[in-house]
Amino acid sequence: MRKITTMRWFTKALAIAISGVLFVALTSTTTSAQHRHRVEVIQRVPVVDPFYSYPYPYTYPPSYVEQNYGYVKLDTDRKDASVFIDGGYADKIKENKKFALRPGNHDIELRDSDGRTIYQQRVAVIIGKTTKLELPS
């Protein structure tokens, strides 16, 4: 009888230990994936509402972008390239040449339609300032 209760206790302890090891392994892989950099591209969109005058109940004041973001302007003649910021797709170069980004260092990359890197540079973005990049044609 005593051997059976000891075996049950050992089985429960082993199950708890295995569960703990699996939990630690799974949470360590998900937290490293969560710490990747996210790209946040913010553009100013004019809001026209005929029924309410502006300060309408918006959560951000009109000057929020200028006070908290910096800009990167790409000066190039290429029209077929795609812009990637910190490894994430931002937009086509013919659609948008100016990007509002959070302050700090960002990797700006241009890729052609085949996905090959045409241009790559690390840029420091400063609040309220525009960093202009002149790219080769």
Please check whether residue 129 is in contact with residue 71, taking contact to mean a CB–CB distance below 8 angstroms: yes
Domain that holds residue 85: 64-134
Q: One-letter amino acid identity for 48?
A: V
In angstroms, the CA 103 to CA 71 distance is: 9
Would residue 97 count as lying in a domain?
yes
Would residue 74 count as lying in a domain?
yes
Token pair for 31: 């937290």
Query: What pLDDT, on the 0 to 100 scale, is given for residue 4?
Result: 66
pLDDT digits (tens, 9 = 90+) for 54-96: 555 556 666 766 778 888 998 888 888 888 998 888 888 888 8
Query: What pLDDT, on the 0 to 100 scale, is given for residue 70?
Result: 87
Would residue 123 count as lying in a domain?
yes
Number of domains in the chain: 1
Would residue 69 count as lying in a domain?
yes
Would residue 9 count as lying in a domain?
no
Would residue 79 count as lying in a domain?
yes
Would residue 23 count as lying in a domain?
no
pTM > 0.75: yes or no:
no
Would residue 5 count as lying in a domain?
no
Domain at 96, CATH number: 2.60.40.1120
Average pLDDT, the chain: 77
Could you tell me what percent of the chain has a pLDDT over 90? 8
Please check whether residue 39 is in contact with residue 99, taking contact to mean a CB–CB distance below 8 angstroms: no
Please check whether residue 129 is in contact with residue 117, taking contact to mean a CB–CB distance below 8 angstroms: no
